[in-house]
Amino acid sequence: MGGKSLNNVADDLILDASNAWLEGVRHLPSPNCDERPAASEPELVVIHSISLPEGTFGTPHVEALFRNCLDVDAHPSFPEIATLRVSAHVLIRRDGELIQLVPFTKRAWHAGVSCHDGRDCCNDFSIGIELEGCDWQPFEDRQYRRLASLVRLLMAAWPAIGNHRLVGHSDIAPGRKTDPGPHFDWQKLRGLL
């Protein structure tokens, strides 16, 4: 990544190279991360979708899940997921707000059992981006614009991430995961890049 900050002027995203946090966005650090293996850098972007409760947007529950403080009494489905230890590097809300949970140089726990191009353990070499959404609804234009801006910045910081290194969770965990789902418009994202 180098020693200086990177800036994506089009969206005012700035990546602080000294700590791999974005400047000017909300930070909600997740404990669900650790060091990447030695000499491992991001080479892949994995796009996910999440909503809690499923199909409900604008709640604080996704952030709470990623920070191990989900209120099990807030919804009947929460007791079964509250003990999961998961995270992502960032969450992009329906309104385009970007929230960073894990520095990009650390390993977020987002992919689980996974494989890409014959390599297992995608968390080791990927960046996980959660979009607030679900399998049965289209995503918002604001989310695509924010996602594209972030991906451009990540590609500049880690050149191994190219257009062919953008995948869905379903691509690296087929049969186990379906996100970001059939309504995610890959052509639209690629057109914005």
Check 43, 54, 97, 130 and give the catalytic one.
Answer: 130
Q: Which amino acid is at 130?
A: E
130 among known catalytic residues: yes
Query: Dihedrals φ, ψ of 171, to 5°?
Result: -75, -30
Alpha carbon 76 to chain centroid distance? 26
Indicate left, alpha or beta for 162 from its phi (over 0: left) and psi (-120 to 50: alpha).
Answer: beta
What are the Cα distances from residue 147, in Å, to 13, 82, 108, 162? 11, 27, 18, 14
Alpha-helical regions (H) of the chain: 61-66, 141-157, 169-172, 186-192
Q: Where are the beta strands (DSSP E) in the chain?
A: 6-8, 13-16, 21-23, 26-27, 33-35, 44-50, 90-92, 98-100, 106-108, 115-116, 119-120, 126-132, 166-168
Q: Which residues have a catalytic role annotated?
A: 130
